[in-house]
Structures are given as C-alpha cells and as structure tokens.
Amino acid sequence: MSQGTLFDKVWDLHTVGTLPSGQTQLFIGLHLIHEVTSPQAFAMLRDRGLKVLLPERTVATVDHIVPTDNQARPFADDLAEEMMQAIEQNCQANSITFYNIGSGNQGVVHVIAPEQGLTQPGMTIACGDSHTSTHGAFGAIAFGIGTSQVRDVLASQTLALSKLKVRKIEVNGVLAPGVYAKDVILHIIRTLGVTGGVGYAYEFAGTTFEQMSMEERMTICNMAIEGGARCGYVNPDQVTFDYLKGRDFAPKAADWQQAVAWWQSLRSDADAVYDDLTVFDAADIPPTVTWGITPGQGIGVNQQVPTLDSLPESDRYLAEEAYQYMDLAPGQAIAGTKIDVCFIGSCTNGRISDLREAAKIAQGRHVAEGITAFVVPGSERVKQQAEAEGLDKIFAAAGFEWREAGCSMCLAMNSDKLQGRQISASSSNRNFKGRQGSSSGRTLLMSPAMVAAAAVQGAVTDVRKLL
C-alpha cells in the first residue's frame, strides 16, 4: 500500500466516507462535461427527480462532434445538431458554465480546462472521457468516468471508487533532439504494455519529466490510460506554478501564496512508499511509431515490425491480428511506409507547442503529392495563438489545411474520416481498428513533428533527418 504520495494525500483530503460496499465516496473538485457522454446522464437525473448539487463545480464544452470546417448552425449532421442542442439546454437549465463554439474558450475539454487555469494541483477531477488523465500533469488526480458516473457527480459531486495502487515511473536524463514527450509515453506503454497500469495510478517522476513544460507533461499524462492506468500525474513544481500564474481561474492576490504553499505540501514525500517502481533512461528513447492496433504495439522509427518469435507468447495472437489488419509484414521496416492522411491535433498533441514543433518541420517544405494533411488546433485559444504567431500561414504554405478547434479525426465523429484502407500518420492517442472513421482504416501514432515529417516525405520518416 502506497503512503505519502501525492495520490494518497489528495485521496485522503477528498474522502467523504466509506460506502457499505467498502468503496470510498470521493469528492470531485472539478467536473468537466461534453456533448457525447452527458445527455444520457442528464436524462437519468430527470428520471430520478435529482438536481445538480454544485453546478458551479461543473464546466462544459463541445468537442467530439463539432465540424472543423463549416461550423454554421444548424450543423449539416442532424444527429450532431441534436447533441449540440441537448448540451446547450442541459447547461442552461442547470446553470452550468458552457463554453460554446465562438466563445473564444471552446475546444477539446482536456485542452481548455488547463489553459484557463481550471485544472489545478491537488484537485480531484472527473470527466466522461478516458483522457481525463491529462489533468494529472498539474498534480491533480483525474479520472475518466462513464455516463452513470457523470450522473453521480452531477447529483452528488462525488464518485464511488476503490483506491488505486501507485507505481512510480521514473525517467531520467535528457531527450535527444527529435525525441518528444509523445515518444516517451509511447515507449513507456510499449514496455509496460497496455494492461500494465490496470489497478494503478502512475506517478511520472525523474529529471526528464522535471525538465518538461506543462504541455509536454499533459501529453504524458494524457496517455497514461493507454497504458491501462486510470490516472497519471506529475508532482507540481515551479514549472506548474509559472504556468498557472495569471490564468483566468488561477488563485489571485493573497490567495496565490497560500495556494503555492498548499500545492507544495501535496508533493509526494521524499520517503513516500510506492507499490511499484519502474525506471527508464531518456537516452534509450528513440522517435517512436506504432505499427499495430493498440498503442502498445510501438517501435523505434528505425526498427522493424516485430517478428512473432521475438514477442512474448501472450502478445502473439494480437500481433497476428495486427499484421493482417495493418497489412504490414513481420520484419518489415516501418520507416518508408507510405501514408495517405496526416492529422495533427487532439488532446494529446493539439496544443500550441505541438503546433510549433510541427510547423518547424513544415516550414519551407511541402506536403507530398497525393497526401491529405490537416491541422486541428486543440482549442479556440490555441488557434488564435497559432495565428498570432503565423503558424497557420506556415502550414497553409506547406499544403496543410488549417481547421477549427475540436477532436476531429482523433475519433472521427465529425466529417473528418479516413476512407477505406487509407493509412494515417496521426498525433492522436489511439490506433484501434476503425478508430479514425473507416472500419478498415489504419492509424500510425507518432509525435506531431513526426507527422509533419511523414506529410512532407509521403512516408514514415525519422524526423531527425529534417531537423
């Protein structure tokens, strides 16, 4: 049993009591909702005659279904329009703050909460979305939940949960040029496996994470769930405080000093006890690409698709399924794999620093012939910032489409979809079968800079050659 970790401290501070089942009733400090997983929750509340207990602790936006080309209302897609109207009405009827399209604050839920300073250290955060783990970058404990649990949080501001174990994942050292946060998390997942984190919260510690910006830490924590860990976090430090200072919802004036002191006190103790420890060396991490149908099926960009005999027995069944689905042969080099579509965006890699890195690669080059490449900023604010820096012009000159904020082809609930067997280079987080909108479409996950490199070369490329 872990002791003295940030996870333990935050858990204890938010424990309302123990339920008859033995589970903990945990107070949720910030509840984020979006259009896909909330309408049924509001309907359940209505069915039971329940009210939203603390509407001021819930914030809503729209991201999954929003078109990123034409956002005029009503949306061309009737079902999407119906979902929009549902969230508008539900928020209005329950006095919930709603960041609608055009508000200047709309975007992917895991992008907007941090950028507004809503996400803070020491909070418990829940959202009906598995990538809620993102918010752990601030030293918050953030859980993805299902719709019935969204109902529970709305009705009671709490969740019934069993405590997780804590695994410390230490990465030390300096990342080589061309190696990004995305590569670090893909490397961790490929090593520990997609189920390695089940039952655990991941604490990301060590000098590599300490040197990372908040946006890089968000990329790391975002994908903790892809490693099976329901939440991941980084202890808050000066980088966290500097990021938060002055943001809309950050503590102000006298509250600020108090806040910093409180946040400091929540850091894992030097003698904290962990349930497990895994250590990596940053120098061992190459630019990493997935070749298969789970985020754990990753390899270095200069490696070959693994052969069956090189894999543990338990991974072989899935590997065979992946060779067939991806149409990649064991032993084949991943570099040089031809690409059809390039997608830069998502809550993993749709922030301003991601767009800057991709723009550096795109600048002065052009998207290869026959390739569709597009950039979807994570939020309206990211879009505005990028345009202020002229990144949109760089992308446009290089042949990338420049879009409105949303989830877009991360899960293809809007009109941005792969067609047929198309293969994409994507900065998103999931390469599951059918994830990007075509039931036979294929996805290779990689960093935004690697996606830009694939776009200009027309094939998977080691971004280090273009730096």
Partner 1 sequence: MSQIKSVTGRGIPLVGNDIDTDRIIPARFLRCVTFDGLGAQVFADDRAQTQGQHAFDQPQYQGATLLVVNRNFGCGSSREHAPQAIAKWGIRAIVGESFAEIFLGNCVAIGMPCVTADSASLQQLQDWLAENPRNSATLDLAAMQVNFGNHSISVCMGEGPRNMFLSGTWDACGQLVAQADQVQKMAVKLPYVSWSRAVH
Enumerate binding residues for ligand SF4 (CB under 6 A): 63-64, 108, 110, 129, 131, 346-347, 407, 410-411, 428-429
Site string for partner 1, 100-129 (x = CB under 8 A): -----------------xx-x-xx----xx
467 binds, among ligand SF4, partner 1, none (CB under 5 to 8 A by kind): none
Q: Name the residue nearer to ligand SF4 (CB basis): 306 or 406.
A: 406
Chosen from ligand SF4, partner 1, none, partner binding at 428 (C-beta under 5 to 8 Å by type): ligand SF4
In the complex with partner 1, which residue's Cβ is closer, 268 or 294? 294
Question: Residue 93 interacts with partner 1 (CB under 8 A)?
Answer: no
CB nearer partner 1, residue 160 or residue 459: 160
Of the CA atoms within 13 Å of residue 239, those in its CB half-sphere come to 17
199 binds, among ligand SF4, partner 1, none (CB under 5 to 8 A by kind): partner 1
Name the residue nearer to ligand SF4 (CB basis): 129 or 416.
129
Binding of partner 1 by 144 (CB under 8 A): yes
Q: Report what 228 binds from partner 1, ligand SF4, none; CB cut-off 5-8 Å by kind.
A: partner 1
Identify the residue among 152, 183, 203, 462 touching partner 1 (CB under 8 A): 152
The interface partner of residue 302, options being partner 1, ligand SF4, none and the CB cut-off 5 to 8 Å by kind, is none
Contacts of 162 (CB under 8 A, 6+ apart): 22, 23, 24
CB of 99 to ligand SF4, least distance (A): 14
Tell me which of ligand SF4, partner 1, none is bound by residue 423, counting a contact when its beta carbon lies within the kind-specific cut-off of 5 to 8 angstroms: none
Binding of partner 1 at residue 459 (CB under 8 A)? Answer: no
Q: Which does 146 bind (CB under 5 to 8 A by kind): partner 1, ligand SF4, none?
A: partner 1
Distance CA 293, CA 462 (A): 21
Identity of the residue, 126 or 234, whose beta carbon is nearer to partner 1 in the bound complex: 126
> CB 134 → ligand SF4: shortest distance, Å?
8
Q: Which residues from 183-202 bind partner 1, rule CB under 8 A? A: 194-195, 198-199
Query: Shortest Cβ distance from residue 339 to ligand SF4 (Å)?
Result: 20
For residue 237, the minimal CB distance to ligand SF4 (Å) is 25
Q: Pick the closer one to partner 1 by CB: 136 or 437.
A: 437
**Least distance (Å) between residue 83 CB and ligand SF4:** 14
Q: Is 21 in the site for partner 1 (CB under 8 A)?
A: yes
Q: Least distance from C-beta 430 to ligand SF4, angstroms?
A: 7
Structure token pair of residue 92: 């209005």
Q: By CB under 8 A, tell whether 147 contacts partner 1.
A: yes
Which residues inside 348-407 make contact with partner 1, applying CB under 8 A?
none
SS3 string, the chain, reads CCECCHHHHHHHHCEEEECCCCCEEEECCEEEECCCCCHHHHHHHHHHCCCCCCHHHEEEECCCCCCCCCCCCCCCCHHHHHHHHHHHHHHHHCCCEEECCCCCCCECHHHHHHHCCCCCCCCEEEECCHHHHHHHHHCCEEEECCHHHHHHHHHHCEEEECCCEEEEEEEECCCCCCCCHHHHHHHHHHHHCCCCCCCEEEEEECHHHHCCCHHHHHHHHHHHHHHCCCEEECCCCHHHHHHHCCCCCCCCHHHHHHHHHHHHHHCCCCCCECCEEEEEEHHHCCCEEECCCCCCCEEECCCECCCHHHCCHHHHHHHHHHHHHHCCCCCCECCCCECCEEEECHHHHCCHHHHHHHHHHHCCCCCCCCCEEEECCCEHHHHHHHHHCCHHHHHHHCCCEECCCCCHHHCCCCCCCCCCCCEEEECCCCCCCCCCCCCCCEEEECCHHHHHHHHHHCECCCHHHHC
Q: Scanning residues 403 to 442, which ones bind partner 1 (CB under 8 A)?
A: 411-413, 430, 432-435, 437, 439-440
Size of the site for partner 1 (CB under 8 A): 91
Residues 6+ apart with CB under 8 A from 331: 304, 305, 307
Min CB(130)–ligand SF4 separation in Å:
7
* 335 C-beta neighbours (distance < 10 Å), count: 19
Q: Are 452 and 104 in contact (CB under 8 A)?
A: no
Residues numbered 41 to 80 that lie near partner 1 (CB under 8 A) are: 43, 48, 50, 53-54, 56-57, 59, 64-65, 77, 79-80
- Least CB distance to ligand SF4 at residue 429 (A): 5
Answer with the entry of ligand SF4, partner 1, none that 346 interacts with (C-beta below 5 to 8 A by kind): ligand SF4
Q: Which is nearer to ligand SF4, 108 or 367 (CB)?
A: 108
Shortest distance, position 369 Cβ to partner 1, whole Å:
30
Contact between 455 and 363 under an 8 Å Cβ cutoff? The reply is no
Output Rg (C-alpha) for the chain, integer angstroms: 21
| Contact (CB, 8 A) for 430 and 295 | yes
